[in-house]
């Protein structure tokens, strides 16, 4: 029961940080493109790679939530050793 609440909290809290960080990254990228439009290919590529790295933390939280909801080791153990 507690693990359901924690699973919800994990994704909720874990998405806040990366969302802020990605917003700031995109703002900087857009300002750089506005300043140097001929470099926009490089800037876009770097932006995407940076976004992926920032996103990974959110994905770690999501994976843990999924494990808690669908493959909860505690429940599986309880069910396995049940009647």
Partner 1 sequence: MGEIHISTDEIIFWQSGWFQLNATIVLTWVVMAVLVVISMWVRSRLTNDTKIPKLQNLMEVLVETIQKQIGEVSGQDPTPFVPFIGTLFLYIAVATLLGIVPGFNPPTASLSTTAALSACVFFAVPFFGIRKLGFGSYVGQYFKPTWLMLPFNIIGELSRTLALAVRLYGNMMSGAVIAAVLLAFVPLFIPIVMQLFGLITGMIQAYIFAVLAMVYIASATRVRQEEDLKTTNSPTGLEH
Q: Where along the sequence are the contacts to partner 1 (CB under 8 A)? A: 42, 45-46, 48-50, 52-53, 55-56, 59-60, 62-63, 66, 70-71
Distance CA 7, CA 17 (A): 17
CA contacts within 13 A on the Cβ side of 48:
5
Q: How many residues does the chain have?
A: 83
Taking the complex as a whole, the smallest distance from the CB of residue 19 to partner 1 amounts, in Å, to 16
Distance CA 31, CA 35 (A): 6
Minimum CB distance to partner 1 smaller for 27 or for 63: 63
Taking the complex as a whole, the smallest distance from the CB of residue 22 to partner 1 amounts, in Å, to 13
Minimum CB distance to partner 1 smaller for 16 or for 66: 66
């Amino acid at each position: 029961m507690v693990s359901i609440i924690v699973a919800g909290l994990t994704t909720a809290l874990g998405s806040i940080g990366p969302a802020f960080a990605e917003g700031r990254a995109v703002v900087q990228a857009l300002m750089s493109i506005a300043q140097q439009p001929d470099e926009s290919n490089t800037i876009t590529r770097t932006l995407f790679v940076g976004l992926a790295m920032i996103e990974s933390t959110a994905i770690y939280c999501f994976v843990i939530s999924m494990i808690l909801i669908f493959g909860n080791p505690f429940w599986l153990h309880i069910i396995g050793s049940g009647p």
